[in-house]
Amino acid sequence: MTSLDSLVWLQERTALGILSPTVLETISTVVEEQIIPANTRLIEEDTIPVALYILIQGQLESNRINQLAPTAPYGFLPGAVINLQELLLEELAPQTVTTLSECHLWAVPAATFR
């Protein structure tokens, strides 16, 4: 996907579409495509996020394993932006995210995002 295609995709299919074109263009130039196999823990709850993830294709499931505050599993749709709040507010990941199928993601490493 070209940088222009990435920019349009971010504008049309993610919550990041509310950002200015300049900011989206910057994000589109630093994303790294990752292909993660099925049944892989992408994010561990109560850990520092290593990247901002944007789901392009595939199935992800999130749940909270902590026995004090467990939650029901839920899935993500393409265009989901994962770890945005945690990176902005410097918080720990509140849930574990696991791939249910092979997933194509765009990732922005946390250091680059900051």
Tell me: the pLDDT tens digits for 11-70? 999 999 999 999 999 988 899 999 999 999 999 999 999 999 999 999 999 988 766 666
Q: Could you tell me which residues are beta bridge partners of residue 61?
A: 75, 98
Q: Is 78 exposed, middle or buried (0-12, 13-18, 19+ CB in 10 A)?
A: middle
pLDDT value for 37: 98
pTM of the model: 0.90
Strands 32-36 and 103-109 come out as antiparallel
Question: 31-113 in CATH: which number?
Answer: 2.60.120.10
Q: Where are the domains of the chain?
A: 1-30, 31-113
